Copies of this chain bind each other. A is one copy, B any other.
């Protein structure tokens, strides 16, 4: 069976349709796919590490807003009526904190003791940004969002610690306030930016060299705006070396059955 391709109208795919394409082997970043539906980061850890991860999320809610949890033995969740092992475009597999595999199908790596956490993703508020006329460069360019490990430590929990990871979008200076206002209405998917301008203040030396995803152009008159990112738990896995973990490949998210609007506050 040939690997499926992403249709031109990816934004109008139903979540189950998008998941079927990914299950079939399609590997693409999911920004812009199934517009109007929330996307989520995945981090799956052995049951013995599940409390540490959930406490890490509770202590770092901007980076790790938990949308749903599939307990050990489960591979779907109320928010995700698919198979967590196969229905994301790509996965990263870690052993003792080291990346040992990147794959479009995590079935052969999956363990029955894994607890899966679905964590809010800022792709969720990109549709509202674009509706307000704020350009989202990586969607225009057809690339993955740029993500950076920062010098800002997360608050540790049990055996887990690590740096805050952020995503960056260039925003025209006269629309930064609007971008703050719009995204602050979505606290469950990272909410308002954690940092506006001044990459050095986050310990980012070179915007053109993201730690995850693809670089994007920051044009004259634009300001780099940084949102907390759900790759943060994977940075904690790298730093803290649990025996085993599976995460999504950054930018290659779980497309959920929840509506963006479900996460909007007044």
Contacts and interface: CB of A to CB of B under 8 A. Distances in A.
A66 B58 contact: yes
Contacts of A66: 58
A262 to B, nearest CB: 14
Interface in A49-80: 50-51, 54-55, 58-59, 66, 69, 71
B54 A71 contact: no
Interface residues of A, number: 13
A77 to B, nearest CB: 11
A227 to B, nearest CB: 19
Nearest to A115: B51
A158 interface: yes
Interface string A102-126: 0000000000000100000000000
Interface string A40-56: 00000001001100110
A254 to B, nearest CB: 17
Nearest to A69: B55
Residue among A51, A58, A71, A115 facing the most chain B CB atoms (10 A cut-off): A51
Nearest to A48: B51
Interface in A117-162: 157-158
A54 to B, nearest CB: 5
A78 to B, nearest CB: 9
Interface in A214-262: none
Nearest to A53: B51
A55 B54 contact: yes
Nearest to A71: B158
